[in-house]
Amino acid sequence: MIPEKASENHKQKPDNQTWKLCAKVLQQKKVLDLVVLDVGGIASFTDTFIIASGRSSRQVSAVGEHVIYSLKKQGIRPLGVEGLQNGQWVLIDYGDVVIHIFFEPIREFYDLEGLWSDAKRIKEM
C-alpha cells in the first residue's frame, strides 16, 4: 500500500528544531540582519526561509560552509547548495528550511523580504 500524501490543508508545521538549529549556527558566525520567515502557507516547496547577510563574499562563503559542516555533524544533510564558491548569494536547501546567505548589497538588490512580504516573520529564536 502506498501512503497518501498530506493535503495542502493538512500540511505539518515546519520542524522548529531544524530552523532554530540553523539560526543558532548562523548567529555563531556573526551574520547581519538574521530574518526567519514562515512561508509554509504561501510556498509549496518549503516551510521556512532563513535570510542573513555577510560583510564580504569571503564571509558569506565561510558562513555557508560552517552551516553545512555544523548541520552535517547533527546528521542533517542539505538537499542542495548553490553559490558557495562565488560568495554573493549562498542558498542551502534542507527541504523544510531554505537558507539564503547574502553579501549585503546583493541582499538589498534581490529584496527577498519584500518579495515574500506576505510571510509571517518568526520572532522567537
Report the number of distinct structural domains present in the chain. 1
Is 122 part of any domain? no
- Residue 73 is predicted with a pLDDT of 93
Burial 56-89 (b: 16+ CB within 10 A, else e): ebebbbbbbebbbebbeeeebebeeeebbeebbb
Residue 21 half-sphere exposure, CB side, CA atoms within 13 Å? 19
Across residues 94-119, what is the average pLDDT? 93
Work out the average pLDDT over 81-92: 95
- The verdict on residue 4 lying in a domain is no
- Distance CA(49)–CA(43), nearest Å, equals 10
- Per-residue pLDDT tens digits for 3-26: 333 333 333 334 568 889 999 999
Q: Return the minimum-mean-pLDDT range out of 17-21, 65-69, 98-102, 121-125.
A: 121-125
| Better-predicted residue by pLDDT, 61 or 16 | 61
The span from the first CA to the last CA of the chain, in angstroms, equals 40
Q: Is residue 123 part of a domain?
A: no
Share of the chain above pLDDT 70, in %: 86
CATH number of the domain residue 109 falls in? 3.30.460.10
Position 77 confidence tier, pLDDT thresholds 50, 70, 90: very high
Q: Is the pLDDT of residue 70 over 80?
A: yes
Is 36 inside a domain boundary? yes
| Residue span of the structural domain in which 32 resides | 15-116
- pLDDT value of residue 124: 67
User: What SS3 state is found at 55?
Assistant: coil
Paired strand residues for 54: 103
CA pseudo-torsion sign 96, 121, 90, 75: negative
Residue 45 within a domain: yes
Residue 121 lies in a domain: no
For 108, the 3-state DSSP assignment is helix
pLDDT exceeds 70 at position 1:
no
pLDDT average, residue stretch 20-40: 93
